[in-house]
Amino acid sequence: MTSPPRKPAAYPPHPGAATDPETAERARVAMGWLHTAHFLTSAPQLEHLPPLELPEIAFVGRSNAGKSTAINTLTQQTRLAFASKTPGRTQHINLFGVGKQKVDDAVLADLPGYGYAAVPKEAKLRWQRVMGNYLMTRDTLRGVVLMCDPRHGLTELDEILLDVIRPRVVDGLKFLVLLTKSDKLTRSEGAKALSIARLQAGGGEVKLFSALKKQGVDEAAELLWRWAHPVEAPVQEAP
């Protein structure tokens, strides 16, 4: 007698998963908004970027931290950000417009990956200057998403980048550390990685993220939505 086929084991729900209708609706709106992302322009230097007035959210990280994959997962597109098999290949700042009904209300900026050993030193220095100038001087920058492989933790280059943006964080710049590829960690390893990253980041948000298991996707999307659409303080009536 043939045994009935076994059902595949369900992946356990990740911490923070949407469990109530209000949270689920916020995630749905945020994901729908990100799905509208489309290519705007690409530039090798800061001065070549158009002077946009929309809030920008920059994605940064080491060349092998899964940055392009995370952008494609958040926007539910397969090739919006070019995920090269050769780390360090992307050498431009790529801008993507986001907004419903074909009216952009924010911009996603994909910055060059850094830290790949095979890239010539001159190219590394140029990328560092480009990113440093962008992160320190781009007036429309509202938030930074730093991708980090939790198996390696925040590296010296990641910490240098956080030091670069720290003065702007004090002035209100938002930042999020996404611990990518978290499906490769056990639950206890994930909890430990979160604790360590929070200490290293010294502020901002830190979340586990898996493009494969869709862990942390809804939460990250909602956070980006709130960065681009801050709730204005209610106007106080004069006494």
Q: What pLDDT is recorded for position 231? A: 76
SS3 of 122, please? helix
- The model's pTM is 0.83
For Cα atoms 71, 193, 202, give the angle at the middle one, nearest 5 degrees. 80
Chain center to CA of 119: 23
Q: Is the pLDDT confidence value at 153 over 70?
A: yes
199-225: b (≥16 Cβ within 10 Å) or e: ebbeebbbbbbbbeeebbbbbbbbbbb
Task: Tell me: pLDDT of 119 over 70.
Answer: no
Residue 19 has pLDDT above 50, yes or no: yes
What would the pLDDT profile of 179-215 be if each residue is shown by its tens digit?
999 999 999 999 999 999 998 887 789 999 999 999 9
